Structure 1
Amino acid sequence: MERPARLCGLWALLLCACGGAAAPTETQPPVTNLSVSVENICTIIWTWNPPEGVSPNCSLWYFSHFANKQDKKIAPETHRSKEVPLNERICLQVGSQCSSNESEKPSILVEKCISPPEGDPESAVTGLNCIWHNLSYMKCSWLPGKNTSPHTNYTLHYWHSGLGKILQCENFYTEGQHIGCSFDLTKVKDSNFEQHSVQIMVKDDAGKIRPVFNIVPLTSRVKPDPPHVKYLSFEKGGLYVEWKNPQNFISRCLSYQVEVNNSQTEIPDIFNVDDPKTKCRSSEFEENLEDKICFMVPGVLPDTLNTVRIRVKTNKLCYEDDKLWSNWSQAMSIGNMANSTFYITILLIIPVIVAGAIIVLLLYLKRLKIIIFPPIPDPGKIFKEMFGDQNDDTLHWKKYDIYEKQTKEETDSVVLIENLERASQ
């Protein structure tokens, strides 16, 4: 009976020890003086002070997240910043704890929010879209809001880390119903632009419409210029295509599409080129071989006319967005059009034949009309000639005929006498 009693005592001691370890730690006091401010255009900064009455043995860490429970962060700093469009209400919750363990329960969370901009939401512009063209300039376009005047004068302000201050866009343009503005953006590409973005704000100069904010990461919404096709040739049953990349881009950051339009087919062939493996020809006059890309199009016949166009887009190796294709390059052709002389002759003969037929129809139009629609005789005239009385007019014409005959006979007899007299002499 003694051994079971001892075992029970040991189990009791273990349970007590476990219960002591599982006891909840003391809740830390909340942070103090939590405040929020906005810098640049869309940079929100929260700052706070450490909680009061913290144990000296506590190494303070701060747990923070947004009100939607997203973007959680545990750090020892007493501030936090974030680039976010200010179109909606944004709140940050902050609590303190004595370790960096995410599972530890923080203190009571303190919340601080920033309100959306003032103004009628229906007056704000819609569809604000910005594209970085060829890493040289950015174009932003939008549609006017519903409750706005057609004579509204818009303003666009922008900022990025390469600028010392917020700048205002000056190059406004219109494309149909869209209004836009473009500004230079070449300084950013000289730095480590993968970590940067451009902050945009569109409003009116009178302050009557609600402002709209946007943040454009510099690794997205990039549209290259079209490449330049430099050389075509038929080689080994295929078509050798050589082109030059647009400026400001390297080959590994781009994907390509090669379009070949053959004169004997109605639908062009399109080849996706993500990693060109065709070795380009070296030239002593070539300045930069890295900008030159080559590709062999298989199954192209040399006795046909082939027209080549190329377009490019950014890929996932360097950019987040890979959906914006450039415009097609200028077309370049090689080969001969099959039976081109025959087609040209046909095109020349057909108009001549049509013109001749029209002339013939115009000349014989009356004759064709008589043949197709013969004249109908007048019965009144026929009966009049058959049964009509011989009036004075008829006698007159008969007398005229008799007189004409007599005159003719007398003339003949005179001629005969003259001839006889001449013969007797």
Structure 2
Amino acid sequence: MERPARLCGLWALLLCAGGGGGGGAAPTDTQPPVTNLSVSVENLCTVIWTWDPPEGASPNCTLRYFSHFDNKQDKKIAPETHRSKEVPLNERICLQVGSQCSTNESDNPSILVEKCTPPPEGDPESAVTELQCVWHNLSYMKCTWLPGRKTSPDTNYTLYYWHSSLGKILQCEDIYREGQHIGCSFALTNLKDSSFEQHSVQIVVKDNAGKIRPSFNIVPLTSHVKPDPPHIKRLFFQNGNLYVQWTNPQNFYSRCLSYQVEVNNSQTETSDIFYVEEAKCQNSEFEGNLEGTICFMVPGVLPDTLNTVRIRVRTNKLCYEDDKLWSNWSQAMSIGENTDPTFYVSMLLATPVIVAGAIIVLLLYLKRLKIIIFPPIPDPGKIFKEMFGDQNDDTLLSPGCGETRSNPLPWHRS
């Protein structure tokens, strides 16, 4: 009797262990799929998916929801029954959702349920192309685009925009044309806080008649930022170096900008460009009120020639994601004396002529001086010949007869 009793006890223990194991394994079983998955669009480009918990889920399961977009991008496991994404709606966007009992991605979720946004209406070739937006000096945004291939030339475009500081979607009123491009500008300064890293502007361009396909764009406020040009305050030479002082454009911190200084020299006709990452006015050479002023020392500049300085700035990656857009060049400022190059050319051409003339005059003067200092020696033969020749040729006419009579020498007279 003892042995059967032991067998029964062991069997009961195995059953209890099996039952306990079954109860602990239940949450790891595959759960039913989620229900009532739906999708909606808020603002212009904010897509929101919502769903209900699965029916018949295990009571011992702490539900988590596994979701991802097309091509298994942006996987996420979370307890919330909703998910949103800010995405341009130029094509269909799909989300797949499943339920599971853990946060481990390796666990098998339930059957995935998919829900997609409807595709945009209209011919894809009628949508505008090259839609780009730039935030100018953190003050206004300028968007430009090209008409679609299958678009009527008289199409009236409309641009709508939205960002988190707005209570509603607004329409851009300032539509203009620049050659083939069409553009629109709108003010963008009233942000709720100065921390705009997570903010973006949602854009859509379409026509009121509904003949073209809408084109969407999302512009992060940490990129596509173009500052205004800086303002040069002062140039001066000190110890053989050129010092430059300027002020930054408004709305920007100095640590968020990089600089480029261009120096043009009139004598060498060359342009030297200096890249400046950090420029502080800490040297004793800089005087006056330096608040909000940026300083830079340019080495090796010729002080006795005309030097023209220009500066431009761009955002850096310390504060922004984009560092490609340079501002326009600042208004140029010059220091030094402007020497006319035509004067040097004229002197270069005239110098040989002047030297040649001086040599000719000198030679003539030396010849004259030689005659004065060393006069020519008379030729006695010529002198006697002239004297005696003149006497032999001296004849007298006979009075009244027209005959000539020579005067005999004294020793021929009788």
Question: Identical aligned pairs, as a percentage?
Answer: 78
Please provide the CA RMSD for this pair: 2.5
Instruction: Give, in angstroms, the shift of residue 194 of structure 1.
Output: 1.1
Alpha carbons of structure 1 residues 266 and 151: separation in structure 2 relative to 1, 3 Å: same
Alpha carbons of structure 1 residues 242 and 97: separation in structure 2 relative to 1, 3 Å: same
Which of 248, 264, 268 is the equivalent residue of 1:265?
268
Supply the distance in 2 between the matched residues of 1:283 and 1:159 (Cα, whole angstroms): 46
Q: Does 1:217 align with 2:220?
A: yes
Answer whether contact 1:155 1:202 (CA < 8 A) is retained. yes
Q: Which deviates further from its counterpart, 33-42 or 259-268?
A: 259-268
Supply the distance in 1 between the matched residues of 2:101 and 2:135 (Cα, whole angstroms): 45
**Counterpart in 2 of 1:314?**
315
**Residue identity matched to 1:326:** S
Q: C-alpha offsets along residues 115-138 of structure 1, whole Å, 9 cap, x if unaligned?
A: 221001111110000000000000
**Counterpart in 2 of 1:97?**
100
Q: Does 1:192 align with 2:200?
A: no
**Counterpart in 2 of 1:229?**
232
**Counterpart in 1 of 2:133?**
130
**Residue identity matched to 2:154:** H
**Counterpart in 1 of 2:62?**
59
**Counterpart in 1 of 2:49?**
46
Q: Which deviates further from its counterpart, 93-102 or 153-162?
A: 93-102
Supply the distance in 2 between the matched residues of 1:32 and 1:177 (Cα, whole angstroms): 50
**Counterpart in 1 of 2:403?**
none
Q: Which deviates further from its counterpart, 260-269 or 209-218?
A: 260-269
Alpha carbons of structure 1 residues 272 and 98: separation in structure 2 relative to 1, 3 Å: same
Q: Which deviates further from its counterpart, 334-343 or 249-258?
A: 334-343
Q: Which deviates further from its counterpart, 324-333 or 297-306?
A: 297-306
Q: Does 1:154 align with 2:194?
A: no
Q: Does 1:76 align with 2:79?
A: yes
**Partner of 2:71: helix, strand, or coil?**
coil
Q: Does 1:275 align with 2:281?
A: no
Supply the distance in 2 between the matched residues of 1:222 and 1:304 (Cα, whole angstroms): 37
**Counterpart in 2 of 1:143?**
146
Supply the distance in 1 between the matched residues of 2:77 and 2:135 (Cα, whole angstroms): 35
**Counterpart in 2 of 1:171?**
174
**Partner of 1:194: helix, strand, or coil?**
coil
Instruction: Give, in angstroms, the shift of residue 277 of structure 1.
Output: 4.6
More helix by share: 1
Supply the distance in 2 between the matched residues of 1:175 and 1:188 (Cα, whole angstroms): 29
Q: Which 4+ stretches in 1 moved above 6 angstroms? A: 344-347
Answer whether contact 2:280 2:294 (CA < 8 A) is retained. no
**Residue identity matched to 2:264:** N
**Residue identity matched to 2:304:** D
Q: C-alpha offsets along residues 60-113 of structure 1, whole Å, 9 cap, x if unaligned?
A: 111111022111111110000010000011100011111112222211111000
Answer whether contact 1:226 1:327 (CA < 8 A) is retained. yes
TM-score normalised to the size of structure 2? 0.75
TM-score normalised to the size of structure 1? 0.73
**Residue identity matched to 1:327:** N
**Residue identity matched to 1:265:** T
Supply the distance in 1 between the matched residues of 2:239 and 2:97 (Cα, whole angstroms): 69
Supply the distance in 2 between the matched residues of 1:153 and 1:332 (Cα, whole angstroms): 44
Q: Which deviates further from its counterpart, 272-281 or 215-224?
A: 272-281
**Partner of 2:270: helix, strand, or coil?**
coil
Alpha carbons of structure 1 residues 267 and 339: separation in structure 2 relative to 1, 3 Å: closer
Alpha carbons of structure 1 residues 117 and 341: separation in structure 2 relative to 1, 3 Å: closer
Supply the distance in 2 between the matched residues of 1:195 and 1:279 (Cα, whole angstroms): 35
- When the two structures are aligned, how many residues end up with a matched partner? 329
Which of 31, 34, 39 is the equivalent residue of 1:36?
39
